[in-house]
Every structure is written in C-alpha cells, then in structure tokens.
Amino acid sequence: MVTVERAAELLASQELVAFPTETVYGLGADATSATALAKLYELKGRPLGHPVIVHLGSPDWLPDWAIVDERARCLARAFWPGPLTLVLKRQPQVLDLVTGGQDTVGLRMPAHPLALELVTLLGRGVAAPSANRFGRISPTTAAHVRSEFGEHLPLLDGGACKVGVESTIVDLSGPQPAVLRPGAISATQLAEKLGFPVSSGKKDVRAPGGLKSHYAPVTPTRLVSPSRWPETVTEMVEQGQRIGALSSQKIGLETVWIEAPSAAEDYAHNLYANLRRLDAAQVDWILIELPPGGEAWEAVRDRLRRAASQGD
Ligand code: TXA
Ligand code: MG
C-alpha cells in the first residue's frame, strides 16, 4: 500500500499506480507520458489501439484535452465529479496511446476523494483503465487488484467502490449524443440535463468495452430467466454439473448460492465481487438469474450479458 503523496510521486516519475474510484479501481499512468502509457498497456495485456479514459481534477482542465462545447460543459457541470465519461474531439497534442489513434478522447472527473486528491497532486490527467487484466472482471476492492497484479504494483487502498460498475460513457463527438456504455448515470438523466434526446443501446465499434467477451469469469457463465430458473438448476445438477448461482430463488441443489440483491444499486455495488466469488468456487457453471428490465438495471444487465458471452 502507498500513501496518496507517494502515489502522485510515482505517477510523476512515469510509474503505474492502482487507485480507487467510485466506480471500479483504475490502473493509473500519467496521461501525458508515452513511457508510462506503454507500461500500462504492457501490464494490463491490453492490445494497442484501445483508447483509455483520462481522469481530470477539474472541469477547468477539459480544454487542455478536448474541444469543449456547451453540451460537454452542461454535463460536466451536472455530473462531475462522478461516474460519467465524456467522449469529445481531442486536442492535437493528446497522445495516440491515449486515444487509440482516433480523433476523440474519453474524459472524466472521478468522485472518490483519493482519486481526486491523486489527480490534483499530479496536476495532470491520469489515464486509467480498470485495474484488471485485459478481458477479466473489473476490481472493486484493493484485494481484487492484488489478485490481478500481485504485491509489487503500488496500490492506493480506498475501500470498496461505491458504484461497482464502470462509468457511463457518452459520445458527444458527433451531432447526436449517444451512450456507448451504460453506467450509473442513465441516458434519461443525461437527456434531462441537455434538454434533448440521448440515444442508448447503440454499441460503438470503437469502444472495445463493447466487445462481448469483456468482464468475463473463467468459469462458463449462463443467464437464465426467472421462470426457467428452477428447472434449469435441477436439470443441470441432475446431469452432474456443480452450480454456482446468483439468484433471488434458492433451489437447494446449488454448490454455492449468492442471494441476488433486489435493488439495482446494491446489485451493481456487489456485482464484480459476487462474480469473483463464484469464479473462485470451483464449479462447472455459473448461473445467473436475469434481473428485471428497466433503465435502472441497464448497466447491470449489460455487464451480465458480457460476463455470459464468452465463446460467442
Ligand atoms: O469507471 C470507469 O470508467 C473506470 C474507472 C477506472 O474510471 N475506467 C474504465 O476504463 O472502465 P476501461 O479502460 O476499462 O474502459 C474504458 C472504455 C473502453 O470501452 C474504451 O473503449 C472507452 O472507454 N473509450 C475510451 N476512450 C474512448 C474514445 N475516445 N472513444 C470511444 N470509447 C472510448
Ligand atoms: Mg475495463
């Protein structure tokens, strides 16, 4: 563990530091240092060309990174610091390692006090993808980060992340705002502030978070509708499968059962810890009961679909 002052020094000397945000833990690098960014891609095992989000200390930093219009100012004013990433046209000096060579850049101001302090102490943008190996489950505790990267990575411990799923990403680089990745802030909330519609559910091919295999446990994972839950669990156990379940219904045949929280916020807060627990349980299948529809559940359902889609 390191202090926030030490963490800022490490970032300034082009080293990597894992730190908490209100969404998930990030693997941080000075976003103006090609050396630091190269280390970040290397450690995460992330293919080059996948853009990273830059974390800012204030909305006042926006013009250093992007062309800022009234829509961006409006959303930053309303939702920053908080779990919202704005995709905007980049400034020319932004490194290709940040943008993946695109003409846009993803920016957000995190709400976790340690994240804000870290970025403020560094005084520059911090590039931070989720602190997991590429394609694996995002970390929401310091222990999760340790299990991904071991003891040697400098780590700032800020407890369990409040939100639990990654930030909402909204693309403002074109005429029509579009949510590229659902998160705690909904398309409806964005539209209310902007005063015009924001499309959602449209997956942009440029957002690798849109790859189906992301956020996946190693154990094969299936989503099951509530009505088919009892027979599915029963049949699979009869076929000799050991089942780890996240569901509201308990059948009694599960090897491990985790009760699914009934509120979307609680479900999201615990989601990645629950997936990690089930993945570590040495079962043949992880079965997850599909949570309800509706906008409040959109981010959770999105991450569950990705968790269950490996091999597709
Ligand atoms: O909540 C979060 O956003 C967390 C915490 C650490 O802040 N970060 C995070 O980073 O989820 P990462 O790298 O795991 O996911 C970043 C997503 C990717 O899907 C990436 O493609 C997208 O943001 N992204 C970044 N810059 C983009 C851009 N210029 N255009 C489109 N998508 C972009
Ligand atoms: Mg990620």
pLDDT over threshold 50, residue 205 = no
71-77: long-range contacts at Cβ-Cβ below 8 A with a sequence spacing of 24 or more? 71/172, 71/177, 71/194, 72/172, 74/193, 74/194, 75/170, 75/172, 75/190, 75/193, 75/194, 76/109
Cα of 164 from ligand 1 centre, angstroms: 15
Tokens representing residue 312 in the block: 């597709």
For atom 10 of ligand 1, the residue with the nearest CA is 129
- The b/e string for 125-149 (b: 16+ C-beta within 10 A; e otherwise) is bbbbbbbbebbbbbbbbbebbbebb
Average pLDDT on 118-133 reads 97
Report the phi/psi class of residue 137: left, alpha or beta, with left for phi > 0 and alpha for psi in -120 to 50: beta
Cα of 87 from ligand 1 centre, angstroms: 9
Are 183 and 138 spatial neighbours (Cβ–Cβ below 8 Å)? no
pLDDT digits (tens, 9 = 90+) for 249-292: 999 999 999 999 999 999 999 999 999 999 999 999 999 999 99
Confidence of residue 214 (pLDDT cuts 50, 70, 90): low
Ligand 1 cavity residues, CB under 6 Å: 21, 23-24, 26, 50-53, 83, 85, 87, 99, 102, 104-106, 110, 128-130, 166-167, 169, 180-181, 206-209
In one letter, which amino acid is 162? K
User: 17, 24, 25, 53: which to mutate for ligand 1, most atoms within 8 A of CB?
Assistant: 53
Confidence of residue 58 (pLDDT cuts 50, 70, 90): very high
Cα of 287 from ligand 1 centre, angstroms: 27
Are 23 and 165 spatial neighbours (Cβ–Cβ below 8 Å)? yes
**Host H or E run for residue 257:** strand 256-259
Q: How many whole angstroms separate alpha carbon 102 and alpha carbon 128?
A: 17
Cα of 226 from ligand 2 centre, angstroms: 29
pLDDT over threshold 70, residue 201 = no
Cβ atoms within 10 A of the Cβ of 311, count? 9
Q: 165 in helix, strand or coil?
A: coil
Give the max Cα distance, the chain.
61
User: 89, 166, 203: which to mutate for ligand 1, most atoms within 8 A of CB?
Assistant: 166
Confidence of residue 135 (pLDDT cuts 50, 70, 90): confident
pLDDT of amino acid 22 = 98
Cα of 219 from ligand 2 centre, angstroms: 19
pLDDT over threshold 80, residue 145 = yes
The pocket of ion ligand 2, defined by CB under 5 A, consists of 130
pLDDT over threshold 80, residue 211 = no
pLDDT digits (tens, 9 = 90+) for 165-198: 999 999 999 999 999 999 999 999 999 999 999 9
Tokens representing residue 169 in the block: 């990403």
Cα of 237 from ligand 2 centre, angstroms: 33
Strand-pair partners of 26: 19, 130
Cα of 63 from ligand 1 centre, angstroms: 19
Give the pTM: 0.95
Average pLDDT, the chain: 94
Average pLDDT on 3-28 reads 98
Nearest to 148 by CA among 156, 138, 157, 158: 138
Residue carrying the six token digits 């870290």: 118
Ligand with smallest separation from the Cα of 180: 1
pLDDT over threshold 90, residue 207 = no
Residue predicted with more confidence, 48 or 289:
289
Ligand with smallest separation from the Cα of 164: 1
Nearest to 87 by CA among 178, 205, 223, 194: 178
Nearest to 157 by CA among 112, 111, 215, 124: 112
pLDDT of amino acid 210 = 47
User: 22, 40, 52, 105: which to mutate for ligand 1, most atoms within 8 A of CB?
Assistant: 52
* Residues sharing a CB contact under 8 Å with residue 82, sequence separation 6 or more, in sequence order: 22, 109, 110, 111, 184, 185
Average pLDDT on 75-87 reads 98
pLDDT digits (tens, 9 = 90+) for 87-105: 999 999 999 999 999 999 9
Are 131 and 139 spatial neighbours (Cβ–Cβ below 8 Å)? yes
Ligand with smallest separation from the Cα of 129: 1
Q: How many whole angstroms separate alpha carbon 36 and alpha carbon 293?
A: 41
Are 125 and 88 spatial neighbours (Cβ–Cβ below 8 Å)? no
Average pLDDT on 121-131 reads 98
